[in-house]
Amino acid sequence: MTVGEPRFLSLDEVLYLHDESLARFGGIAGMGNPGLIESALGSAQNAFWYGRGNVFEIAAAYAFHIAESQAFNDGNKRTGAAAAIMFLKENAERFPKRRRLGLCRPN
């Protein structure tokens, strides 16, 4: 990582977020094509390297490309949102400690 370069998420971190999402909210485990999630992570890095994106644009790239890739059998949107939030937190964006964001468990 060079000066000014954000700390990107690893594949292991995103897989952990997916596993935690399934553990907390349920869903079908498994991944159809591991290359799709790797491509989604590369798209977020490309937002920085080629698009000169700021941390919010990179976070949006994580959310969009992970959700759009449909790499997991279930929980793609949840994993994309969690990855975006983790990326922002890892790159010094602050979030309220106990504020509810209006998220709820599925019925």
Domain map of the chain by residue range? 11-90
Q: How far is it, in rounded angstroms, from Cα 21 to Cα 75?
A: 7
Coil vs helix vs strand at 95? coil
Q: How far is it, in rounded angstroms, from Cα 12 to Cα 10?
A: 5
Is the pTM value of this prediction over 0.85?
Answer: no
Token pair for 67: 């959700």
For residue range 19-53, what is the model confidence (pLDDT) as tens digits? 999 999 999 999 999 999 999 999 999 999 999 99
**Look-up of token digits 């979030």:** 95
For residue range 57-82, what is the model confidence (pLDDT) as tens digits? 999 999 999 999 999 999 999 999 99
**Which helix (H) or strand (E) segment is 106 a member of?**
none
pLDDT for 21: 95
Whether 106 has a pLDDT exceeding 50, the answer reads no
> Candidates 1.20.1740.10, 1.10.3720.10, 1.10.10.60, 1.20.120.1870; correct CATH number of 11-90?
1.20.120.1870
pLDDT for 104: 46
